[in-house]
Structure 1
């Protein structure tokens, strides 16, 4: 009788703690567009924690190359200076920040909830968008060549 009870308790414990069939990270993505044209975006480093089972958590930390190194493999999109880019997250973040790693160096990038405005200065902008969610943080990088319209 005691062996049966131990066996039943073991099976119940395994079912409650260890059997999470839907173990998968749903890391958010970022889509950047200019006038309907999709701009190439590459995911950088991230840390993410999700629930696993009834009481557990599953965490992953990915350390990726710097935005400058990520951008070396990107062609980049040519857009006019002052252009407004649409930022579309697959899951809305609590907050996000934008950092420029490109040629113009320290310059102000203006970001509204779903829009990023490229500065009026020509140059190659390597832009890192770092989103913050309750589950963690995700970095995404894209490259823009800002030019003046010569119409």
Structure 2
């Protein structure tokens, strides 16, 4: 009886640990680099499904609340702004909101985003897509 209990216990322990490993999911990190300095973007919504895991966070999130979690970066009109996302996404879409709340789709040139010419605060949402899912990132800048 003691041998059976040890066997059952060892099967449960090994089964539980592999279940935990299979449920582990780490989102691809995204950085925005401005004038040579990198900043980690805030992760908003995500959805990911592969053979080892499934993870979702699709609750509607206020873009302003996410931007508040990012330390606004002061940007000059001549600075360079680039986006770098781990795991080589197959698509990247960038949306920009200005202080008046107007939304504009931004076209990437490689992984570079043009800096607006008008001074003010701008919030960006970057949506990266892979075969397994998508992740949205948020950051904001202030132009002098």
Shift of 1:116: 1.3
Shift of 1:99: 0.7
Structure 1 gaps, min length 5: 1-10, 53-57
Q: How does 1:15-34 map to 2 (within 5 A)?
A: 22-23=21-22, 24-34=24-34
Q: How does 1:1-151 map to 2 (within 5 A)?
A: 22-23=21-22, 24-52=24-52, 58-63=53-58, 65-81=61-77, 83-103=79-99, 105-107=102-104, 109-147=106-144
CA distance in 1, matches of 2:131, 2:47: 11
Structure 2 gaps, min length 5: 1-10
- Deviations 1:43-94, CA, capped at 9 Å, x for gaps: 1110001213xxxxx3211135222111123330000135321211111110
Which has the higher Rg, Structure 1 or Structure 2? 1
CA distance in 1, matches of 2:91, 2:109: 11
Does the 8 Å CA contact 1:43/1:140 hold for their aligned counterparts? yes
Does the 8 Å CA contact 1:84/1:118 hold for their aligned counterparts? yes
Does the 8 Å CA contact 1:68/1:101 hold for their aligned counterparts? no
In the other structure, the counterpart of 2:6 is none
Over 3 Å counting, the alpha-carbon distance change for 1:81 and 1:95 in structure 2 is same
Over 3 Å counting, the alpha-carbon distance change for 1:109 and 1:83 in structure 2 is farther
Over 3 Å counting, the alpha-carbon distance change for 1:108 and 1:61 in structure 2 is closer
TM-score by length of 1: 0.72
Shift of 1:108: 5.5
Over 3 Å counting, the alpha-carbon distance change for 1:82 and 1:97 in structure 2 is farther
Q: How many residues align?
A: 128
Is the helix fraction higher in 1 or 2? 2
